[in-house]
Amino acid sequence: MDQIRQNACDEMIASVGQKTWDENMQFLQHLISNVKNHKINQHPIVKSMQSCDYSLQEMQTMHMEYRAIVHIFTDALLMAQYLSKKVENVMKPGSKAYARFLLTLNTLDEFGFYYKIGEPCNFQGTPQRSHLILFENLMTDMSITDQDRQEFVPSPVTQKLKDYFLAAYDDYPLLLTLLAVAEEIVMIFSPVMRVNTGALGIPVEKGYYQVHGVSEDEENDACDDFHQNDLWLILAQGAGGYDQKELLENTDKFISLWEAFWTQDFSQNKIKSMQKTARMHKAQEHEGMLG
């Protein structure tokens, strides 16, 4: 797979020329540095979840808020594949194929295809391994019902983040950047979400948390770091023709929205079944006091 990716990268470099590629990569290194060094990487919730400080109710709410983004991630990937046609406005016909090739590696992973890292590339797959279905299975393991999922309304903070993502669906370079940032978020927060969720007795050894994180983590089969790097390379191919300052500002705004997402109070906005349980316990306590 490393060789497959390198071949695609070499072909993208040839499509724009080494000089232009190097110029684009110089800007990208600045952009990537901003992402990697943003304060969200040291968000206090990381340590809190590592210490398993969050209750089942809080983790249920957190996952339901997160679900609002999980459900549009593959939509964004597919939209990026479509928008890659824009590179042919400034490049030779067929240039969009390189971006679509690398984006397909990501979508294959999302849709349930997989291969063993470090071994010859031999894809296997089933829709039951798709990240969306694995996430929904996780919701079930967390005692979140179908009705909970239907009736849950994301918080204003989450909705603002989601709307910002959706608004990028017609902006190719911005969408690629937001997808890469989303992969960064996954790598920061999924490992500790797995720790806190598992501490509550919920199975996390297989399923959604088995396929999220970084490829060096021996506890999973994730390759989000590969996908993030692919997205940066795709952006390098089509990095010309947009306002670099504006892209930097929009990227910082997106990360700040993610920071607000993780800072919100997850003890609020309970799922409906948890609200009913809380009311029942309160009524029982009241009856006990009367008795």
- Model pLDDT for residues 31-45, shown as the tens digit of each residue: 999 999 999 999 999
Segments forming the whole domain that contains residue 106: 2-290
Q: What is the pLDDT of residue 52?
A: 98
In the chain, how many domains are there? Answer: 1
Any idea what the CATH number is for the domain that residue 252 is in?
Answer: 1.20.910.10
Model pLDDT for residues 258-280, shown as the tens digit of each residue: 999 999 999 999 999 887 665 55
- Show the tokens assigned to 263: 């800072």
Q: Which pLDDT belongs to residue 114?
A: 73
More confident residue, 12 or 288: 12
